[in-house]
Structure 1
Amino acid sequence: MTRALREPEWLTHASGAEWDAVIRQGRRASLLARLHYALQARSCLTNLPAAPRVHLDAARVIADKQAIAVRWEVGKILTAIAQCEAPLILLKGAAYHMAGLTAGRGRVFSDIDILVPKPRINHVEAALMQHGWVATQHDAYDQRYYRTWMHEIPPLRHIRRQSVIDVHHAILPETARLKPDPALLLAAAQPIPDAPGLFTLAPADMVLHSASHLFCGEFEHGLRDLSDIDLLLREFSAQSGFWEGLVPRAHQLDLSRPLYYALRLAAQLFATPIPADVLHAIAPCRPSAPHAALMHSLLQRALAPDHPSCRGPFSPLALGLLYARAHWLRMPPHLLAYHLAHKALLPPKQPG
């Protein structure tokens, strides 16, 4: 799948077996619609076999339909919080779609992420509830977990449309070892052209947020998220000062290590063109040689699509270790022990 995204022209002469692997892997990685856009951009669609073209076209239709739904939902969110005196800053997939970025073309996702100032988050939550969104987490422990330690309130789901919103006041948990200052992100947010009231993070901050989400979290959609980073870097590279400011901004936001992993893996898997001076500037942020070798091995396995053709005998171990690492980065040891003990030994009571 990575080769298909990196070299879409290759698919015009791929074998049936190769096409079978691409379609299956792409579907598991939620990347088929993005591949359709990549092939279209290179005028390759008309040269494809009929059978795989059906799958690509279907994925494109679904993604385009979701894009329309996202625009509708974002409009509803904007209306709901209009009186909250809080900017509506879109994150990740919704931001890519609404800003018209390449990373938004064919990007599929399950919820809409927004960032608001922490002092206004209760007002935003109340306004959304008045417009039909309700909490999805009712267990008292989970409510406390989100509201005391996390970077977001519990997800909200609309009672009619079933759309889900994640309302953030930061991009990493307050208990996390890395502590990007939300005030810096809010201050640098940029308005979306021709979309009054809507904002995105600044270009460098979009990349850093995606990197922090991927390399400090879980890997369910790891390859898709790394593809996001590849496309963001390619698009923003045309902006004056982007590359010069990326590494300093990572230092300022305490996200240098996630950026190091993001640049290294994007260059390796997607041949992302990264200036040599940027790689040189981020190099001091790499871990020790043994640590780097271990992380490289784990990440290579974790970023592969969740398909038997990509996963080897050590893939479950790699994912398990990275899952444990993510929790270690999110919480101090005493809080992590308490949280895991509650989930493992004291599960919440089931209703009824």
Structure 2
Amino acid sequence: MAPRQVSRRFPDYGWAWPSGDHDVLLKAVLVDDEEKALSFGLSWLATHNIDDAAFREQRLLSALSERFGKKLSSSPAHPRLIGLQRMLWSRSRLALRDTAEALEMLHTAKIPFMLLKGASRVALEPGAQRGRVSHDIDILVQQSHMRPAFSLLLDAGWEATNGAGAQRLIDLADTWRAVNFVKGEFGDIDVHRLAYHPTQTSVDDDQRLWARSIETSLAGVPARVPAASDRIALAIAHGALDAHTHSDWLCDIDSCIRTGGVVWSDLLETLEARRVLVPAASALTYLSQEIGTPVPKTFLADLLEAADRSGYVHRLSLMECKPKLDLDPLSATMRGLVKQLRLWMGKRVVQKQREPVCRARVSPSRSSLVSTARLVAHVSGEGANGGGQADISIDVDLPPVRRRIDWELATSKRHLAVLRHRKLLRYAGRRTLSFVVEIPPLEEGERLILSARPSRLLRGAPDPSEIARYGAIPFRLIGVSHRGKAASHG
């Protein structure tokens, strides 16, 4: 059965297809007819300045340079294109070199992991590395192995980019969806507990994902990668929601299909289980109708029928599939609403351990303290050994930006709570922040420690504006008082 033709009119799936110059560059990289593809590439180079290209275009330009090489020499942009590809390739090589340490540690510790996204393609197609930009390594780790994996990385000097402290990371390791760790200038690894977004969870398909996975290696380290059908499903599930940032996920799908080995019945089963039929219909009809990727007609017909049955509400996911730059103001507003709804539903789906988060009461500072502000302070635990509420007051010099500011309360043995102030206005200057924190009974020798945390890890030598927006905010401990008995934490 032949599939129907898909149009570019909403609510049909072609509405979210790449368009304009983005479409031209994709076709230059992917279209089979070399003469036609080369003309697309030269046309794009003739009308664009590579120095102004966004990262989305840079990734595709690297693949273009790898495909045609000297055949692009008639373009004045060719020398710059070669330089861009070498820079991106070198950056990818350095990231792989510096991240191999983490992979080797996990392998030595017998912690199974699966390579995702670009890392899985490079592992299976080493020759693709020059054209496939990958500045970090994404891996999937089973929930039972998250805590030992985090402990290994932290002990080896890796830091989490989300700004969380070591004790918090380890205590909540099996509840994070994914955490990005970095080390040095280029080491960068994303450790995932869930292969898909929270709204795409499926316990049964998680088991099939691991059962179908393939043994391989990356940088000489044994690893696993998803089966071909799962690599396609994962590329759609992640790439379609981030289409404005990069498009080489479409290149990954095209390569996977042309390489062979796709079990199409498994792919359809996964797309249904993960609730990504509509994004899949958009991506695979684009590749089939516009690029010429050999997607089997019977599969495409079955996919379109299944996506059509999912209803018009699911068509709203097309809003996130279409690159931002291609949206008019009304569509951009709708996209924002759809994204927020998805994120809200994701928070409800994920069964995350409820982490105590204490909100600040803000008041003008009346403290006469002149001591230097600190990033870490020992909090008096006197009277808290049996548990109870603690009233903690600190003085802080707030920066003139809107941001989230976190402090973590912990002991040497466990994470207790996050003390948070969401600064929604642009006021600045010294303020007193007060928090009421439930303290569980403390063991012998446990002491309370309050530490300022960045909202995003800053690498290298950040400028003052980055520190003001994301850095840890030093504080002066004003006072602590304990009262009552801790609420039940059962």
- The alignment's TM-score, normalised by the length of structure 1, stands at 0.76
Q: CA deviation at 1:233?
A: 3.3
Q: Which residue of 1 aligns with 2:301?
A: 280
Give 1:133 deviation, angstroms. Answer: 0.4
Secondary structure of the residue aligned to 2:26 is helix
**Cα 1:232/1:104, change in 2 over 3 Å:** farther
Cα offset, 1:324, TM superposition: 1.8
Distance apart, 1:167 and its partner CA: 0.7
**1:198 counterpart SS class:** strand
Q: Which moved more, 1:198-207 or 1:320-329?
A: 320-329
Sequence identity of aligned pairs in percent? 16
Question: In 2 relative to 1, CA 136–260 (structure 1 residues): closer, same or farther, beyond 3 Å?
Answer: same
Match of 1:34 among 60, 65, 71: 60
Residue in structure 2 matched with residue 89 of structure 1 by the alignment: 114
C-alpha spacing 1:58/1:311, structure 2 compared with 1 (3 Å): farther
Q: Distance in 2 between matches of 1:148 and 1:259?
A: 30
Amino acid at match of 1:347: R
2:79 to 54, 57, 61: 54
Partner of 2:347: 331
Which of 286, 297, 303 does residue 323 from structure 2 map onto?
303
Q: Could you tell me which residue of structure 2 aligns to residue 179 of structure 1?
A: 202
Alignment of 1:234-245 (within 5 A): 234-245=255-266
Contact 1:218 1:322 in 2 (8 A): no
SS at match of 2:422: coil
Partner of 1:73: 98
**Corresponding position of 2:212:** 188
* CA pair 56-312 structure 1, distance change in 2 beyond 3 A: farther
Q: 1:19 aligns with which of 47, 54, 57?
A: 47
Deviations 1:36-64 (CA, angstroms, capped at 9, x unpaired): 433553566344312x2133212211121
Q: d(CA) in 1 for partners of 2:137 and 2:116?
A: 8
Shift of 1:177: 5.3
Question: Could you say what secondary structure the match of 2:199 adopts?
Answer: coil
Match of 2:337 in 1: 321
- Contact kept, 8 Å, 2:66 with 2:131, in 1: the verdict is no
2:230 match: 205
Higher strand share: 2
**Greater alpha carbon shift after TM alignment, 83-92 vs 269-278:** 269-278
SS at match of 1:107: coil
Runs of at least 5 residues in structure 2 that lack an aligned partner in the other structure: 1-21, 29-36, 360-402, 405-419, 424-451, 453-471, 475-490
Find the aligned partners of 1:138 and 1:4 in 2 and give their Cα distance: 37
1:169-225 deviation digits (Å, cap 9, x = unpaired): 22135x53542543322222212268441221111111111111134x44452x42x
Taking a change above 3 Å as real, the CA distance of residues 149 and 218 of structure 1, as seen in their structure-2 partners, is farther
For the Cα contact (< 8 Å) 1:230–1:266, is it kept in 2? Answer: no
- Kindly indicate whether the alpha-carbon contact (under 8 Å) linking 2:258 and 2:294 is maintained by their aligned counterparts in 1: no
Pair 1:60–1:15, CA change in 2 (3 A): closer
User: Counterparts of 2:285 and 2:341 in 1: how far apart (Å)?
Assistant: 19
- Aligned partner of residue 285 in structure 2, secondary structure: helix
SS at match of 2:63: helix
The Cα of 1:92 is off from its aligned counterpart by: 0.9
- In structure 1, the gaps of 5 or more residues are none
| Corresponding pairs, count | 333
The structural deviation recorded for 1:109 is: 4.2
Distance 1:30 1:133, change over 3 A: same
CA contact (8 A) 2:114 2:224 kept: yes
Paired AA for residue 302 in structure 2: A
Letter in structure 1 aligned against 2:161: T
Deviation at 1:15, TM superposition (A): 7.9
**RMSD of the TM alignment (CA)?**
4.0
Contact 1:87 1:116 in 2 (8 A): yes
Code of the aligned partner of 1:179: S
Q: Secondary structure at the match of 2:230?
A: helix
The residue matched to 1:127 in structure 2 has which SS?
helix
Richer in helix (by share): 1
Instruction: Write the distance in 2 (CA, Å) between the matches of 1:335 and 1:170.
Output: 12
Letter in structure 1 aligned against 2:47:
W
> 1:240–1:12: structure 2 CA closer, same or farther, 3 Å change rule?
closer
Equivalent residue for 2:269?
248
Distance 1:319 1:146 in 2: 32
Whether contact under 8 Å (2:106, 2:149) holds in the other structure is: yes
